[in-house]
Structure 1
Amino acid sequence: MTQLSPGAREPSLGQLVGEIGEDLSTLVRQELRLAKAEVRQETGKAGKAAGLLGGAGFAGYMVAVLVTLAVVFGLGNVMDLGWAALVVAAVWAVAGAILYTTGRTRMRRVDPTPERTVETLKEDARWARDLTR
């Protein structure tokens, strides 16, 4: 705000409105920077969770193919190959369900709402309303 020296005139209404406009402009720019930072942070979390899900899927696929063949043929020594393949498929179904559940839980932790920005915008709105009273 403009400082007055002794004997100086008070700022005009235009000057005051101009200063308020500058302050609001600065405030909006700061809020936008905060929102960008929050969204970037949450996007990083989502990317990591998606990467984990993709990696788990690929690893699960490779393991399933190779181990399934080995186990089916191993069990084929004690039971019919069809039953052995069914038992192994059931085990992989359980493993897939666990991977899916873990990935879904991590994805639910991602919050795309920039909470701090929303809160500070509410404070800014209250501040602006109080200026006009």
Structure 2
Amino acid sequence: MTPQQSTVATVTEEEPTIGRLVADASRDISSLIQNEIALAKSELKVSVKAGGTGAGLFAGAAFVGVLAIIMLSVAFAYFLHMTGLDLAWCFLIVFGAYLLIAALLGFLGMKKVKQVRAPERAIHQAQETKTLLQRK
């Protein structure tokens, strides 16, 4: 073997083929994607767990808030009773106040719902785009 042939043989043994490089790259990319998916899954697990705990705590807070409103209503009725009104009338007054508040909130809610409109400009723009694309 001549020195030139031994150099060519060494270079060929050290340099991988294009096929091997492509196979290695695709294997590495596949491994990278799988690892990124596993990382995303583990992060989502933690986030979902924290979100579920947070939602449960909000539900507990809402329940305690409802209990507080009930107790406040009873206290308000008893304060009215201290004016000399019969207790039944006091509770009826509190009930009426809540009906008025509910009616007011319902009325305001209906006004806001009636303001909801379709996204006319976006629909018009989409129709124009569709028309332009159909011409080509």
Under a length normalisation based on structure 1, what TM-score does the superposition of the two structures give?
0.49
- Greater Rg over alpha carbons, structure: 2
Under a length normalisation based on structure 2, what TM-score does the superposition of the two structures give?
0.48
More helix per residue: 1 or 2? Answer: 2
Q: Which has the higher contact order (CA 8 A, sep 6+)?
A: 1
